[in-house]
Structure 1
Amino acid sequence: MEWSERMNEAINYIEAHIEEKINHLAVAEIACCSLSRFQRMFYFVTDVTLAEYVRCRRMSLAANDLLNSDIKIIELAQKYNYESPEAFTRAFQTFHGVPPTITRKLGIYTDYPRISFQIKINGGNFNLNMKSLVHIEEHSNDRVVSFFVNCKAPESAAGDLLRDWAINNLSDYTARRCIE
């Protein structure tokens, strides 16, 4: 099974159990990795933690429940595993920017759609005939400079790019003179 399929199966488990306490270890097992690795991978790919994803999905579904049913706030709090209606209301207002009553009356809410994983690679000539010849790291500014040049005359093109970069970016004349 491919990585994206395993991750989608983990999301399917989360969505199927969204109204329950999510067993993060079971989610990681579905993805065929340890819990710590799954959490790191999930955050790296989605830019949200697993717990944050679950919370956002619950809040989005709670807004949907408010708009499409007559469910009471206390019932929503219980449905989505909040300890009290007050805790649920605080979390709801923090996420949506309005309390649940306003969402019900005016339909104002923030949608957080379900995540799905896909890998898509287009073409096969990315950076074709290009080669990184110069790589400069500036540790004081944490900036990396790379030059990609046409391989027909890489040395002279890289040298020209390096010289131009040095003249425009180095304030130390001695360092610039060594490159020129």
Structure 2
Amino acid sequence: MISALNRLVDLVEEKLDGELDVAGHAKAFGTTEYHLRRMFSSLAGMPLSEYLRRRRMTAAIADVVRDEDDLLSIAVRYGYGSAEAFGRAFRAVHGAGPGDVRRDGGPLRTQPLLRFRLSVEGSIPMETRIVDRPAFRLAGHATRVPFVREGVNPDIRRHIVALPPEAHARLKALSDTEPPGLLQVSDELDPDGAELTYLHGVAVAGEAPGDLDVIEVPAGRWAVFRTDGAHPEALQKVWAATATEWFPSNPWRLRPGPSIVSILEHSEDFGTATCELWLAVEPA
């Protein structure tokens, strides 16, 4: 996987002005685009699309500052259909538009070339089991939220707090299959890694009430990681360690599907918790 990721970084440099065939690259390395993108995001701390944009805008600095070509020509050179689209991407990376940088010489924020080096040390204990599950449904209350890598996601917290107590009690009564209890579900992470669908709900084996949001989950295998300690920090550390330690050491890869957190026990203030993290997997 590390060699596949480093070759992918090389391909980004070769395709700064063209299309990046991630699916073809993944196939050549015997994996899937889904797994490759998820591993890149977990290890790099940003989605592949964001890294590609940052590298393109880093390479574009020289063209913008030289003042030899008009901005439309530079935009087309880096795969943008208009000077406006290029300008938005440039400003998102550098904090200033290309015209401002051409005039003032800055500010500039460059993205260094990534290189993945992985040392698997087993530094985080990982209590794991593989579960083969038939199809089931996730039913509850869903919303789109920004993706937050560390700490509490305030949008998710507001979504949960806004639900009346009877809604939580109703969901608990509906839960009739694994994963058990009230669940925190992440699904449909967008290609830029900026937003995802969050569902506060439960797993049900049969039909769900029509007034609830539903995610259909096909049959398949799941890697289930048990976590214990400060919440959500312990959970987020184990989640990150699945990419740095567990997947490189085990014959499994991610498959498309929601990521599910089941909170088995928690303190009154939710400062500590025992959780299970369910990730959809398939043989690598």
Q: Shorter-chain TM-score: what band?
A: 0.5 to 0.7
**Deviations for 1:122-162, whole angstroms, at most 9, x for unmatched residues?**
xx9x8xxxxxxxxx9469x5465xxxxxxxxxxxxxxxxxx
Q: Look up the match of 2:65.
A: 67
Match of residue 49, structure 1, among 47, 61, 85: 47
**Deviations for 1:19-61, whole angstroms, at most 9, x for unmatched residues?**
1021121232344310000011101101111111111111111
For these two proteins, the number of residue pairs brought into alignment is 133
Alignment of 1:1-180 (within 5 A): 3-68=1-66, 70-108=68-106, 109-120=108-119, 137=228, 141-142=231-232
For 2:43 and 2:37, the matched residues in 1 are separated by 10
For 2:34 and 2:14, the matched residues in 1 are separated by 22
For 1:41 and 1:21, the matched residues in 2 are separated by 20
Structure 2 residue runs of 5 or longer lacking an equivalent are: 124-226, 235-266, 269-284
Identity %: 24
Aligned partners of 2:67 and 2:102 also within 8 Å: no
Per the alignment, do residues 32 and 104 of structure 1 end up closer, same or farther by CA in structure 2, a change over 3 Å counting? farther
- Identify the structure with the greater strand proportion: 2
- Identify the structure with the greater helix proportion: 1
Measure how far apart 1:120 and its partner are: 4.6
| TM-score with structure 2 setting the length | 0.41
Give 1 or 2 for the bigger CA radius of gyration: 1
Per the alignment, do residues 4 and 88 of structure 1 end up closer, same or farther by CA in structure 2, a change over 3 Å counting? same
Aligned partners of 2:5 and 2:36 also within 8 Å: no
Q: Root-mean-square deviation (CA), in Å?
A: 3.0
| TM-score with structure 1 setting the length | 0.63
Structure 1 residue runs of 5 or longer lacking an equivalent are: 127-135, 145-169, 172-180
Q: Look up the match of 1:174.
A: none
Per the alignment, do residues 4 and 83 of structure 1 end up closer, same or farther by CA in structure 2, a change over 3 Å counting? same
